[in-house]
Amino acid sequence: MRTRVRGWRWRRNSLRRRSDVVEAWTALAVAVLLFVGAPLAGALVGWWAHDEARSVAAAQRAERTQVRAEVVGKTPATLPTAQNGREHPYRVEVRWSDPLTGVHTDTARVPSGTRHGDTVDVWFDSEGRAVAPPPGVSEIWQHTVSLGICAAGGTLALALLGGTLVRHTAQRNRLLEWEREWARTEPEWTRRGV
């Protein structure tokens, strides 16, 4: 019959060793980090990432200009596809008119499936180069959630790794202490060396 004594590492007793106390405090610290620290780290990093992504998107919206352009260039007969079967945007010549500067023609990235004569939204930076559109709400939230999950996961991994290292070190020290004590006690029990 085995009896389990709860909290024996926290109570004073003659069998408790320093390594037992260190291991108990480490288990408590790991539990706090797992249940409080990791979610808090994920929330804080997610909050920071959301603010940062929104400010980057706002800066890009302020710097970039969106125009409606007509595809005038020759579109490829076969569209480029990725390995997973999704179609990618491609570059083609587009034309648009600006009331102040007249008609412009440039090469821009258009969505897959666009054909000659279609009208598409194209974004240009302050220097007139065709650029990707600024991130939308879904991209901002995707960035926020992914960074928050990574921060929470990293905190979890560090807490578990640290706890494992402390437990391993405590176990090694405990075994060394037992070996030293047995070396002192063994001659009395076995009557060797008497």
Q: Which long-range contacts link 184-193 to residues 24+ away (Cβ below 8 Å)?
A: none
Comparing CA positions, the residue from 189, 172, 191, 181 lying closest to residue 14 is: 181
The answer on pLDDT for 192 being more than 70 is no
Report pTM: 0.71
- What gap in Å lies between CA 90 and CA 140, rounded to an integer? 24
Percent of the chain at pLDDT > 70 equals 86
Quick: pLDDT tens for 33-76.
999 999 999 999 999 999 999 999 999 999 988 888 888 887 77
The answer on pLDDT for 7 being more than 80 is no
